[in-house]
Amino acid sequence: MNNRNWYLKTFDQLTNQELYGILQLRTEVFVVEQTCIFQDMDGKDDGECQHIFCENDGKVIACARILPPGITFEEASVGRICTSPAHRSSGLGKELMRRSLEEMNRLFPGEPIRIGAQTYLNEFYKSFGFVNASDLYMEDGIEHVEMIKTS
């Protein structure tokens, strides 16, 4: 059964189950699927950050982290963007990104948005108006590029 619900919450507003689901999905995608050993819990999830996520029948299937200016970059940022492998090619990733950008425009109106994007997703982010803003660099063994969206 398809019972999708979207949420936007601060760290302190997340229930234990929601936080566990977000961290479980991020580990599934970034650590296990991408075979990348890194410190996902980097101290940026709490404070002023917002977590946007989708649950399907009580299970987190997509999530992203919205960061105010000055946390990761000088500009506001969205990161830890991921969808469950079981729900890919369903448009869920595009919906997650669209909703994330809408919230960022509400929270930081008119402000540029900078991301650190895995290069294989470059065209995906370009479809939302991002442009490359750095040379390629390696992060946790994966090629990345900074991208910026100014409007």
Rg (CA), the chain: 15
DSSP string, 32-52: IITT----S--S-SSTT-EEE
- For the chain, the average pLDDT equals 93
3-class state of residue 132 by DSSP: strand
One-letter amino acid for residue 54 of the chain: C
pLDDT tens-digit readout, 28-81: 999 888 888 888 888 899 888 999 999 999 999 999 999 999 999 999 999 999
Which pLDDT value is given to residue 40?
A: 85
Which pLDDT value is given to residue 3?
A: 83
Mean pLDDT of 114-126: 95
For residue 151, pLDDT over 90 is answered with no
Which pLDDT value is given to residue 1?
A: 47
**CA 16 to CA 104: how far, in whole Å?**
25
CA distances from residue 76 to 18, 42, 103, 104, 132 in whole angstroms, order as listed = 24, 17, 11, 8, 16
Mean pLDDT of 21-27: 96
Domains of the chain from N-terminus onward? 4-110 (3.40.630.30)
Which pLDDT value is given to residue 141?
A: 85
Which pLDDT value is given to residue 150?
A: 93
Q: What is the pTM of this model?
A: 0.92
